[in-house]
């Protein structure tokens, strides 16, 4: 079976690493890796390939940045040529970025089967471009690999055939457990100078960082938290740009240490030792649940409800009042312990590969 595995942005790299590892020694699979280049900065791309032991891609599309429509169109035009050259039996796409949807739709129009890893997640928030990408990708996929029970329910309610839906576990957790077990002492250098307790923050969603009022509300809350507990803020490039544009770096002042984006291992070493993580990242909601680290999600909704129902995640909204109210409860000892969800055992990728090759 000839498989094309596609990745394009930072969250994708953590998801393809265990899949490629599971495929590495399978004689019944001829695997090709495609990197669309949606994330083109070294810190957002190449360093993850190095740390996660992902091989050099067979195809690098180098699509770069642009509007959603522009970026999607670039990916579709470039990946069509790859499909025509390679002639794969199936394409494996992961997650919910523009590359995911673009490569899935293009494959389907060329009558190539599509496998979607992390299918079925729904926020019900159509202002999120990721929600559009998820729904469209699932609509054209032949294999729907699901990370949590809510995904199965969502896909069934949308009329997907039962034999296409497979609850396999979470490939993000596969990578997390693999990397946590291989961390070297120097990987914790960023965190070494921090004495607990401390908080780690990540923000990147346009609804949080592109609006001056929304970002100011969040930053003011972080400022108050930072006066009680040190805050470390590895800032996405666009987030850093907006903080400077809106004059909010000064608002944070000494309450937070702003860092550049960190390589995977350094970031893992940093947040796994934290007392609290504040984020708007979907993946970090899952990872904190897997390692039992308290997490505040700075959003009004989540497509990963199991992290709230079973895990350590608390939805705190995006208002200053909501964030500080949740933090006040946290300070007083009301902290979610959480449990690890079913099948989050580091073997999701093996299940995916077994199903793909069996078919």
Task: Collapse the DSSP code of 142 into the 3-class scheme (helix H, G, I; strand E, B; otherwise coil) and give the result.
Answer: coil
- CA dihedral 293→122→150→289, nearest 10 degrees, is -10
> What is the set of active-site residues?
204
Q: Interior CA angle at 226 toward 222 and 227, to 5°?
A: 125
- Write out the DSSP string of 49-101: HHHTTPPPPSEE-------HHHHHHHHHHHHHHHHHHH--SEEEEESSSHHHH
Query: How many Å apart are CA 276 and CA 221, to the nearest integer?
Result: 14
- Residues sharing a CB contact under 8 Å with residue 269, sequence separation 6 or more, in sequence order: 183, 187, 188, 189, 190, 191
Q: Where are the beta strands (DSSP E) in the chain?
A: 2-7, 30-35, 59-60, 90-94, 113-119, 143-146, 165-167, 199-202, 231-234, 256-259, 276-279, 295-297, 313-315
């Amino acid at each position: 079976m000839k498989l094309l595995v596609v990745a394009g942005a930072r969250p994708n790299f953590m998801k393809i690493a265990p899949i490629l590892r599971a495929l590495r020694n399978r004689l019944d699979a001829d695997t090709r890796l495609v990197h669309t280049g949606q994330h083109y900065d070294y810190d957002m791309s190449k360093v993850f390939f190095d740390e996660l032991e992902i091989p050099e891609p067979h195809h690098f599309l180098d699509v770069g940045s642009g509007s959603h429509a522009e970026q999607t169109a670039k990916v579709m035009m470039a990946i069509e040529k790859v499909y025509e050259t390679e002639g794969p039996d199936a394409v494996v796409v992961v997650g919910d970025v523009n590359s995911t949807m673009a490569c899935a739709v293009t494959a389907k129009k060329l009558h190539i089967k599509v496998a979607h890893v992390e299918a079925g997640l729904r926020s019900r928030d159509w202002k999120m471009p990721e929600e559009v990408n998820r729904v469209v990708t699932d609509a054209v996929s032949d294999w729907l690999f699901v990370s949590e029970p809510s995904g199965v329910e969502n896909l069934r309610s949308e009329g997907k055939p039962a034999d296409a839906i497979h609850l396999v576990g979470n490939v993000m957790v596969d990578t997390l457990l693999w990397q946590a077990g291989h961390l070297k002492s120097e990987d914790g250098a960023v965190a070494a100078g921090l004495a607990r307790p401390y908080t780690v923050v990540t923000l990147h969603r346009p609804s949080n960082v592109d609006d001056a009022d929304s970002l100011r509300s969040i930053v003011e809350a972080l400022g108050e938290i930072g006066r009680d507990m040190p805050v470390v803020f590895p800032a996405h490039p666009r987030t850093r740009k907006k903080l400077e544009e809106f004059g909010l770096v000064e608002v944070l002042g000494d309450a937070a240490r702003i860092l550049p984006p960190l390589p995977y291992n350094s970031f893992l070493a940093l947040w796994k030792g934290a007392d609290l993580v504040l984020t708007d990242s979907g993946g970090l909601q899952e990872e904190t649940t897997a390692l039992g680290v308290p997490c505040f999600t700075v959003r009004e909704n989540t497509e990963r409800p199991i992290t709230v129902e079973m895990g350590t995640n608390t939805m705190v909204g995006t208002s200053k009042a909501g964030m500080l109210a949740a933090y006040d409860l946290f300070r007083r000892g009301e902290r979610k312990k959480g449990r690890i969800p079913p099948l989050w055992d580091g073997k999701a990728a093996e299940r995916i590969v077994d199903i793909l090759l069996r078919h």
